Amino acid sequence: MKNSVFIIAVRGLLATIFLSVLVGFYIVQKQGFMIDSDLASLAPDLTLSTDVKNALNSFSVVAQKKIQIVVAANSEALAEDLAFWLEDYVESKDLAFRLESNDILFERYLSALKDYPFNFLTHESLNEINALSPEALINKAQVNLFQFNTQRIIPFSLDPMGYLNNYAFARLEALAAESSTVSMSAIDVENDDEGKHYSLISLQLIVNALDVQAQQRVMTELNDMEAALRNTFGIESDPLAAIGEQQVDRAELYFSGILFFAQEAAASAKRDISVIGIGSSLGIVLLIFLIFRGLSPLVLPLVSIALGVFCAFVICHLVFGRLNVLAIVFGASLIGVAVDYALHYYYCALKWVGTEYDINRAKSQSLSSLYRALLLSLVTSIIGYLALGLSGLVALQQIALFSIVGLLVAWLAVLGLGELFVRKAKPIFNDQWLVAFVQWGLRLSQYLIKSRSIVFFTVSFFILGGFAVSKVTFTDSPRAFFIPSEERIKIEALAQSLSHAVEPASYFVVHGQSEGEVFDVISALRKKALTANVHLMGVDDFFSGPRAQTTAYQANLKLYGANGAGLDFLDNSGAQVEQREFIASHYISSNNMILSAIDFFEPNTLPQLIFSGEHAVYAIMLIKRGVIPESLKTIARDFEQVTYINTIDSTASRLTHLRESAQLFLLLAFIFIAILIALRYKKIRASGIVLIPFISVLLSVSVLILFNVPISLFHIMALFLVLGLGMDYVIFTYEMPAKPVSTLCAILLSGLTSLMSFGLLSLSAMPIVAAFGLTVLLGNTFNLLGCFTLASRRST
Amino acid sequence: MRQMIRVTALFVTFFLLGSLSYRQAAQAVVQTSSELSATTAPPLSAYLPSTCAHYADFVQAKHVPGMVRPVEASGRVVYTCDQGVLWVLLDPIADAIFYGKKSSASLTLGQPVKILKSRVDRAIGQLLNAIMRGDRRELEKNFFVQSVDSGLQLTPKSRRLKKHLEVVDIALSKAAIEVDVRFSQDSKMQLTVTNMQALNTLSNKKCQLLLPEFIDACQLFSFGEM
């Protein structure tokens, strides 16, 4: 009766969840599926103020949107022609990217300067105005007016002497030369020693670089563009091969940008998903076919896994608004864990309840034991996955939620629907080999238990030997998240050598109580940095600070004050009469007006080089490439108001902290589960079964250390799974001592499926996935061995 | 900056047209408008110089918003393949700019020589030299070249260039070449090139003979060796 009520409750819960998920699926479908390959979500949040984090994010957004095409050709003319053709192609098509345009920035910049025409002078102009006589200044202005190479980006009517025009030109030119972030440069062809000629085109994505679908669109469009280019010009690949045969046009296109790293990661994840998905599915099908001599027992595992993965996908997408590819990779490995419930149910229910299924016998003690064991097994797995959720890393939280929902729904499906499938099943067991193996294993275990010294010696050897022989090394670098291909690294290095890029992860953050104070600190910081040959880029490359603006205004008194040289020049140069009056009154009305760079760099329009925070004004100074981080730390040390931030180092130290916390959490999880077991069985001695996964964890770590594998957060996180899976097995073994062989057969069967999934995971090209897979593979192998030991002890 | 460079290149573009030889100009002018198809442009090479050293006189008139009259200046341009382009304003000011193969410099009468290092000047120098040596590829890369009743009309190819420049009209006559440049923002420039002469070689002495009012300008040619 109790079991019937329980099953009805389970079915009700399953139906409720399923219907809710269907509604959720409709919502997700409306919003659009979003699968991202952002590995940054594996990195912990930096311990920075929200203001600074937002500002740094604005730089990441700019970087993510940027892609570059490097054209390598066997002649300078071809490199240039192809670059122009590509620009025209991009301009004329409706693509997922466009030419990087700084038109808006350019217009806004000039507009800002025009509002304060007397506040900005270059150092040379300031010295010139102070040093020269009014007559000499007028002569210079005249030359400027007539010279044929004089370009006006600030109109004569606002700036008759041309000094503001010079300022704008100088600033824009310096920015074009020094920064690719705000580059306004033309196509320059550069040549290398091997005879290749390069041109570089910067593009701006209008889609999300980390969205897998968007990546596919961009790749298709780039490939189409390259095909059209080759078709138009009739060029062949491999520009180096052209040396000595100049009549053949040869060129190669290389694409650079974060999108291509993300796309490589996504492709790697895709490979993993298909390998793990197909591999574990095939393995499971083969195993079931071997054991049950038919595929009908596959229906329950398949239904439970399909329901589990579907619900996990929808709920995860609803909660996070997107799904990381890593969650799906680990989701694929969930097959190996979720199938355990169906196998245990199928195997045990049929073996214990009998081939002629009798609903009355379902109330038997055996079936109740099975339900209890399954419940306890689910709870311990959930505890393991919950620990992943505590990691503080978004990607791991997604994996945790995905796995918990997947396992819970699969578990509910097995219990709720299992009876329907088992009733119709005609079980023909072909598990003689499995039984023989289990019996052999039990005999071996019994022998080993009798000679306890052997067990003690072996375990001690592994644990102590592992720690003693090798030095434990840890790795917490976020660079280990993903190792790009050698070709990708070469392309990025080439693109960086052609553009004047800044360090992507290093910044100086300057703070002060006012904009003026920040500019003063920046000025001192620049001087100090220059002595160490460190070149910076920041807000002062665009605008002078308040103090310099006041100085410039005062210097302009000589030009536009009463009887100023500029006014005399207007009188004598043929300017309209009202020009003099306009400039003179404009100068007077501009007194005490200071341009605020904070307003210029307002959020959501430009990378925030300067911004007003809750308690202070902040400026971010970018650092040109090729600087040794140590020298940067030294520079920052001299200033109270300057902080050096290296996001990679900061992430690494946060990962170290997380790893150390995870080790502690793992220990706590063991203690918590031990208490849970003691309470469940009302015997403190029962909690000793926790020792099996505990020893498995120690042995796994020992093996990793023996083979000089640096331990990362992801190895530790995998140990939580070793704990969860290990507890699954020992609970079944402990719960059913009367039938050790059939229990162990079920455990071995489900263990083999898990080993298959995680074994395949360990082959992944992504280091974090491989770390996870390898650790679980080792740990679960030891778990299975431990179960044999426990079963033999219980049976004796 | 890219736009600025291209706009600057435009300024330069019509100066190249001042380097047309009289013979070439005459050939172009004798073609009647009926002979010129609106869709079939005459070969651009017909307008480009074929000699390796030449000089011409010019008058430039800048229409600057805020000025009552156009800002007019006159001068002489001298070119050799080996050294580069010397652009000399003689009236109302004496000012010279030299664009060599590797480096550029400017000289205003009575002041020291100033080396030009900016990207804009570098771009102008490269383009001007290419044009003066008759490199039509540079022109066709940036403009659609079309024959019209009055001569040639150049319209920018790229959208970005169009933002700054509307059209360049070139009219040829026996006495002069007239170039009108209309910019997008209400300003324009007119250039009249006359007295185009080919040279066999250009020595320092010859240069000083060509620029007697500003012989110091010839010293800028030495920057072509830098």
Residues of B in contact with A93 (CB under 8 A): none
Please judge whether A145 and B1 are an interchain contact, meaning their C-beta atoms are less than 8 angstroms apart.
no
pLDDT of residue A355: 42
pLDDT digits over A184-195, tens only? 334 455 666 567
**pLDDT on residue A125:** 95
Distance between CA A629 and CA A635 in Å, rounded?
10
Over residues B115-138, the pLDDT tens digits come to: 887 766 776 677 677 667 767 677
pLDDT digits (tens, 9 = 90+) for A68-98: 899 888 887 788 788 888 888 998 889 999 8
* Contacting residues of A for B126, CB less than 8 Å apart: none
With an 8 Å Cβ cutoff, is A146 touching chain B?
yes
Q: Measure the CA–CA gap between B73 and B59, rounded to whole angstroms.
A: 6
Q: Tokens for A556?
A: 């302009």
Strand partners, B177: B172, B193
Same domain? For A309 and A435 the reply is no
Which of B3, B67, B139 is the best mutation test for A, with the most CBs of A within 10 A? B67
- Read off φ and ψ for residue A748, nearest 5 degrees: -65, -40
Q: Do A148 and B7 touch (CB under 8 A)?
A: no
Q: How far is B183 from chain A (nearest CA, A)?
A: 12
Instruction: Output the CA angle A135-A137-A143, nearest 5 degrees.
Output: 105
Contact B87, A148 (CB under 8 A): yes
- Lookup result for tokens 């095909």: A227
Q: Decide which of A713 and A520 is more confident.
A: A520
Tell how strand A66-73 and strand A190-191 pair up.
unpaired
- Beta carbons of B137 and A77 less than 8 Å apart: yes
- Residues in chain B with CB shorter than 8 Å from the CB of A184 are 1-2
Is A575 in contact with B89 (Cβ distance < 8 A)? no
Contact yes or no for B95 and A146 at CB 8 A: yes
All residues of chain A having their beta carbon less than 8 Å from the beta carbon of residue B64 are: 145, 152, 156
Please tell me which residue of chain A has the smallest CA distance to B159. Answer: A91
Who's near A628: CB < 8 A, 6+ residues apart? none
Query: Tokens 């088992």 — which residue?
Result: A422
Q: What is the pLDDT confidence band of residue A182, given thresholds at 50, 70 and 90? A: very low
Q: Is A425 in the same domain as A301?
A: yes
Ranking A17-26, A454-463, A730-739 by mean pLDDT, the lowest is A454-463
Q: Which one is predicted more confidently, B205 or A186? A: B205
Which of B175, B123, B128, B160 lies closest to B13, judged by CA? B128
Bridge partner residues of B105 (DSSP): B98, B115
Residue A240 has what pLDDT?
A: 54
Nearest to A145 among B71, B97, B163 (CB): B71
The predicted pLDDT at position A112 comes to 93
Query: Chain B interface residues facing chain A, Cβ-Cβ under 8 Å?
Result: 1-8, 11, 15, 60, 62, 64-69, 71, 73, 87, 89, 92-93, 95, 97, 106, 108, 116, 118-121, 123-124, 137, 141, 157-160, 163
CA max distance for chain B: 53
Least Cα separation, residue A36 to chain B (angstroms) = 34
If you measure CA to CA, which chain A residue comes closest to B183?
A152
The Cα A41–Cα A44 span in angstroms is 7
B71 contact residues in A (CB cutoff 8 A): 145-146, 573-574
Helix (H, G, I), strand (E, B) or coil at B208: helix
Instruction: Over range A609-620, report the average pLDDT.
Output: 87
pLDDT of residue B164: 65
Query: Does A352 lie in the same domain as A402?
Result: yes
Tell me, yes or no, if A686 comes closer than 8 A to chain B by beta carbon. Answer: no
Same domain, A734 and A746: yes
pLDDT of amino acid A181: 33
Residues of B in contact with A177 (CB under 8 A): 119
Radius of gyration of chain A (CA): 35
pLDDT beyond 80 at A346: no
Range of weakest confidence among A202-216, B59-73, B178-192: B178-192
3-class DSSP assignment, residue B112: coil
Spatial distance between the Cα atoms of A517 and A539, rounded to a whole number of angstroms: 13
- The mean pLDDT value for A189-202 works out to 73
Q: Is A160 on the interface with B (CB under 8 A)?
A: yes
pLDDT at A64: 83
Kindly identify which residue of chain B lies nearest to residue A145, measuring between CA atoms: B71
- Transcribe A602-640 into DSSP letters: -TTTS--SEEE-SSSEEEEEEEESS--HHHHHHHHHT-T
Among A429, A454, A484, residue at a domain's last position: A429
Residue A435: domain span: 431-469+683-796
Task: From residue B217, give the alpha-carbon distance in Å to each of B19, B22, B88.
Answer: 19, 26, 7
Same domain, A353 and A456: no
If DSSP codes are grouped into helix, strand and coil, which group holds residue A96? Answer: coil
In this structure, what is the dihedral angle of CA atoms A584, A585, A591, A593, given to the nearest 10 degrees?
-110
A384 close contact with B: CB closer than 8 A? no
Q: At what angle do helices A258-292 and A50-65 cross, to 10 degrees?
A: 90
Domain boundary among A429, A455, A490: A429
Residue of A nearest to B191 (CA): A148
Helix, strand and coil content of chain B, in percent to the nearest 5, comes to 35, 35, 30
A585 falls within a domain? no
Bridge partners, residue A326, by sequence: none
Q: From CA A524, how far away is CA A522, in angstroms rounded?
A: 5
Least confident of A2-6, A338-342, A375-379, A598-602: A2-6
**Could you state, in order of their start, the residue ranges of all structural domains in chain B?**
2-225
Identify whether the C-beta of residue A522 lies closer than 8 Å to the C-beta of residue A621. Answer: yes
- Residues on chain A touching B95 (C-beta within 8 angstroms): 143, 146-147
Nearest to A156 among B64, B68, B106 (CB): B64
Q: What is the pLDDT of residue A35?
A: 74
Percent of chain B past pLDDT 70, that is, above it, reads 66
Evaluate if residue A320 carries a pLDDT over 70: yes
The segment with the largest mean pLDDT, out of A385-394, A534-543, A711-720, is: A534-543
- The pLDDT assigned to B29 comes to 31
3-state secondary structure B156-167: ECCHHHHCCEEE
**Would you state the pLDDT for residue B26?**
31
How many Å apart are CA A391 and CA A772, to the nearest integer? 15
d(CA A655, CA A443): 45
Average pLDDT over residues A552-566: 94
DSSP assignment of A298-364 equals GHHHHHHHHHHHHHHHHHHHHHHSSEEHHHHHHHHHHHHHHHHHHHHHHHHIIIII-SS--GGGGGS
Among A397, A429, A461, give the residue marking a domain's end: A429
In the predicted structure, residue A515 carries a pLDDT above the cut 80 = yes
Chain center to CA of A13: 35
- B8, B95, B123 member nearest A147 (Cβ): B95
pLDDT of the residue at B12: 36
Find the mean pLDDT for residues A765-777.
86
Contact list, B120 vs chain A (CB under 8 Å): 149, 151, 169, 173
Q: Cβ of A84 under 8 Å from any chain B Cβ?
A: yes
Please tell me the distance from the alpha carbon of residue B139 to that of residue A71, in angstroms, as a whole number.
22
Q: What is the mean pLDDT of residues A510-528?
A: 94
Which residue did the predictor score with more confidence, A705 or A354? A705
The pLDDT value recorded for residue A288 is: 76
Note whether B67 contacts A143, CB cutoff 8 Å.
Answer: no
Instruction: Please write the tens of the pLDDT for every residue from B161-175.
Output: 666 678 888 787 767
Query: pLDDT tens digits for A232-270?
Result: 888 877 665 544 455 567 888 999 988 898 888 888 878
> What pLDDT score does A17 carry?
92
User: What sign does the CA torsion over A260, A261, A266, A269 have?
Assistant: positive
Mutate to test the interface with B, among A110, A133, A142, A148 (most CBs of B within 10 A): A148
Q: Which residues contact B144 (CB under 8 A, 6 or more apart)?
A: B154, B155, B156, B157
Specify whether A422 is located in the same domain as A438: no
- Stated length of chain B: 226
Instruction: Look at A190-199, A203-212, A306-315, A764-773 and tell me which has the smallest mean pLDDT.
Output: A190-199
More confident call, A306 vs A548: A548
* Among chain A residues, CA nearest to B62: A146
pLDDT score recorded for residue A276: 76
With a CB cutoff of 8 Å and minimum separation 6, the contacts of A202 are: A66, A67, A68, A99, A100, A180, A183, A499
* Residues B23 and B165: beta-carbon distance below 8 Å: no
Residue B40: per-residue pLDDT: 45
Please give, rounded to a whole number of angstroms, the shortest distance from the CA of B123 to a CA of chain A. Answer: 9
Check pLDDT > 70 for residue B22: no
Return d(Cα A183, Cα A177) in angstroms, integer: 7
The answer to whether A131 contacts chain B (CB < 8 Å) is no
Least confident piece of the model among A234-243, A524-533, A577-586, B59-68: A234-243
pLDDT over 70 at A229, yes or no: yes
| Chain A to chain B Cβ contacts (< 8 Å) | 97
- Residue among B1, B3, B73 whose CB faces A173 most closely: B1
CA distances from residue A467 to A226, A472, A706, B25 in whole angstroms, order as listed: 55, 7, 8, 91
SS (H, E, C) A524-590: HHHHHHHHCCCCEECHHHCCCCHHHHHHHHHHCHHHHCCCCHHHHHHHHCCECHHHHHHHHHHHHHC
Residue A224 confidence (pLDDT): 94
Query: Is A164 a residue whose pLDDT tops 60?
Result: yes
Assigned CATH for B2-225: 2.50.20.10
Comparing A448 with A230, the larger pLDDT belongs to A230
For residue B116, give the chain A residue with the closest CA: A149
Per the structure, the count of domains in chain A is 2
For residue A143, the model assigns a pLDDT of 87
Q: Is the pLDDT of residue A214 over 70?
A: yes
Task: List the single residue in A with minimal CA-CA distance to B120.
Answer: A173
Chain B positions in Cβ-Cβ contact with residue A151 (cut-off 8 Å): 4, 7-8, 11, 120
- Return the percentage of chain A with pLDDT > 70, whole number: 84
**Tens digits of residue pLDDT in B92-112:** 889 999 988 778 888 888 788
The backbone torsions φ and ψ at residue A234, rounded to the nearest 5 degrees and listed phi first, read 60, 40
* pLDDT score of A121 more than 90: yes
Mutation for testing the B interface, residue in A88, A149, A572 having most B CBs under 10 Å? A149
Given this model, what pLDDT does residue A563 score? 87
Distance from the B69 Cα atom to the nearest Cα atom in chain A, whole angstroms: 7
Chain segment A273-317, per-residue pLDDT in tens: 788 778 877 877 887 777 777 777 778 888 888 899 899 989 998
Same domain for A400 and A443, yes or no, is no
Residue A132: pLDDT band by 50, 70, 90 thresholds? very high
A20 touches B: beta carbon within 8 Å: no
Q: Residue A408 has what pLDDT?
A: 92
Q: Hey, how many other C-beta atoms are within 10 angstroms of the C-beta on A518?
A: 27
Structural domain contains residue A609: no
Do the Cβ atoms of A186 and B2 come within 8 Å? yes
User: Which band of pLDDT confidence, cut at 50, 70 and 90, is reported for residue A664?
Assistant: confident
A582 versus A198: which is more confidently predicted? A582
- Please tell me which residue of chain A has the smallest CA distance to B99: A149
Average pLDDT (A754-783) is: 85
Q: Which residues of A touch B69 (CB under 8 A)?
A: 574
A172 touches chain B (CB under 8 A): yes
A764 assigned to some structural domain: yes
The pLDDT mean for chain A works out to 81
* CATH number of A420's domain: 1.20.1640.10
- If you average pLDDT over residues A375-393, what whole number do you get? 76
Instruction: Write down the pLDDT at residue A45.
Output: 60
Residue A723's contacts (CB-CB under 8 Å, 6 or more residues apart) are A380, A383, A384, A666, A669, A670, A673, A693, A694, A697
**Same domain, yes or no, for A409 and A374?**
yes
Closest approach of B2 to chain A, Cα-based (Å): 5
pLDDT digits (tens, 9 = 90+) for A451-501: 766 667 677 766 666 666 666 788 877 766 777 888 888 888 888 777 766
Same domain, A421 and A445: no
Residues 6+ away with beta carbon under 8 Å from A288: A295, A297, A298, A301, A343
By the CB < 8 Å criterion, does A177 face chain B?
Answer: yes
To the nearest whole angstrom, how far is the Cα of A577 from the nearest Cα of chain B?
Answer: 9
